[in-house]
Amino acid sequence: MSSSLVDDVGRVLWHGFPGPEVTPELRAQIARGHIGAAIVFKRNLRVEAVAGPVPQEVTDTAALVELNRALHAAAPADLPLLIAVDQEGGVVQRVRAPATQWPPMLAHDNHPPDVDRALAREVGAALGRELAALGFDVDFAPVLDVHTNAANPIIGDRAFGHTAATVTRRALACAEGLAEAGMLACGKHFPGHGDTVTDSHLALPRIDHDLARLEAVELAPFAAAAAAEVPMLMTAHVVFAALDASVPATLSPAVITGLLRERLGYRGVIVSDDLDMKAIADHFGVGDAAVRAIRAGCDVLLLCRDPAHQAEARAALIAAGERDSEVRRRLGEAAARVRAMASAHARQRSAAPPGGLEAVGAIAHRRLADRLAGRVG
C-alpha cells in the first residue's frame, strides 16, 4: 500500500465525531493524517438549557475553544487539521448563545437592494469573527440555493432570496465577509436544492426542469460563486434530469467535472454533501458512493455521523486507488487542492490571528442581527 495514497485519502475524508471530547481514537486518527477536517455538530458541544421568560440553550464557549484547540493540536505540523461547522443562521447554527443568534438569511428580504448587499457582507464578517475566535476554520455557508418552492422541506428560509439575482447579490457578499474575517466559506448545494419537495437527508430528490430554467435560476448563483473564487462549493444529492438523469449530482461526472469544473471554470475545492444521508447511503452504499464521488470530480467527502461508514469509505478509496490509476490520479489531484487551501489558510491565520472571545455575542453583532431581522431600523 502506497503511503502517498493513504495520505491523499486522509486529506479528502472530512469526519464528524461523537461527543464533546477528543478521544484517544480520534486523536490517533488525526495524528496519522487519516482525517483532513473535523466537523463540529451540536452533539460535540457542552450545552445547558437555561429557563426564563424565553428559554434558551447556552453553549460553554470555553469548552468549545478547548475542544478545537485539542483537535488542532492533535494534527502533525505538516498536515494541519481544518475544523468545520454549519453556522448559517436561523435553524442551522450549531453554536448557540452566547454566540450571536442570527435570523434566517431570508430575512434579507426585509431590506432594499441598495442596502442588502452591504448588510450581508457585515453579517458574514461578524459571523466569521465569532467562529474564528472559537477556533473554527470553515463555515459551511452561505446557502446559494434559490427559494422557489414553498413546499421545499429542507431549504426554505435558509436561502438568501426567492430569485437568482437576490441570492447571488446577498450570498456572495456574505462569503466576502466570511473571508474578511479569516474564515473559509463553502457555498451550497450545487447545482441547486431550492426547488425540491424531498429532503435529501431522508430520500433522493429529483428536479425535472429543463436546462434553460436551470441556467436562469438554479445555476446562476453558483456560476457567480465560481467567478468570484469562493474557496469551496458543496454538492447536492439531487438528480437533475436535464444534466444527468441517472445519478445525483454528487456522483455525476457530467455535473461535477463537465459543468462545474469545465463549463463554469470553478477552480476551488468541491465538497460532497454528507454521504451518510439517505439519498446516498440507502441507494448506492457509502463505499461505492465515495469512489464514484471522487471519480465524478469531488475533492472532499463528508462523512458526518457513522464511524462504520467512515471506515467503509476509507477502505473503498484505498482499494480503488490501488487498482485503478484514474482513481489514484483523482485522489492525488483532490488532496493537492485541499492541501493548498489548508496551507494558504494557515498562512493567513498566522499573519492575522483571530480576535478573542469578546467577539462572541458582541453587542455590535447582536444589534446587527436585530437589524437584519427587522427588529430595529
Residue whose entry in the numeric block shows the C-alpha cell 461523537: 18
Write the single-letter amino acid at 66: E
Tell whether pTM > 0.85: yes
Identify whether the C-beta of residue 96 lies closer than 8 Å to the C-beta of residue 49: no
Identify whether the C-beta of residue 207 lies closer than 8 Å to the C-beta of residue 243: no
pLDDT (mean) for 265-273: 98
pLDDT of residue 195: 84
Domain span holding position 293: 3-373
CA distance 286 to 291: 9
At 282, the pLDDT band (50, 70, 90 cuts) reads confident
250: Cβ contacts below 8 Å, ≥ 6 apart: 235, 236, 237, 256, 272, 273, 275, 280, 289, 293, 296, 298
Q: Which residue in 86, 137, 195, 273 is the catalytic one?
A: 273
Residue 218 C-alpha cell reads as 438554479
What's the structural domain count of the chain? 1
At 281, the pLDDT band (50, 70, 90 cuts) reads confident
pLDDT of residue 54: 74
Farthest CA pair distance, the chain:
62
Q: Is 273 a catalytic residue?
A: yes
For 152-202, the pLDDT digits (tens) are 888 999 999 999 999 999 999 999 999 999 999 999 999 999 888 766 676
pLDDT of residue 200: 63
pLDDT of residue 219: 98
CA distance 206 to 140: 23
pLDDT of residue 205: 85
pLDDT (mean) for 10-23: 97
pLDDT at 211 over 70: yes
For 43-98, the pLDDT digits (tens) are 999 999 887 777 788 999 999 999 999 999 999 988 999 999 999 999 999 999 99
pLDDT of residue 204: 80
For 112-139, the pLDDT digits (tens) are 998 999 999 999 999 999 999 999 999 9
pLDDT of residue 52: 75
pLDDT of residue 151: 86
pLDDT of residue 377: 59
CA distance 215 to 182: 31
pLDDT (mean) for 338-350: 96
- Residues constituting the chain: 377
DSSP state letters, 67-102: HHHHHHHHS-TTSPPEEEE-EEETTEESS-BTS--P
Looking at the chain, the whole-number percentage of residues with pLDDT higher than 70 is 98
Residue 232 C-alpha cell reads as 469551496
pLDDT at 1 over 60: no
The enclosing domain of 25 has a CATH number of 3.20.20.300
Average pLDDT, the chain: 95
pLDDT (mean) for 23-50: 95
- Pick 205 or 3 by higher pLDDT: 205
**Count of helices and strands (H, E) across the chain:** 13, 14
pLDDT of residue 50: 83
pLDDT of residue 306: 95
pLDDT of residue 2: 66
pLDDT at 27 over 60: yes
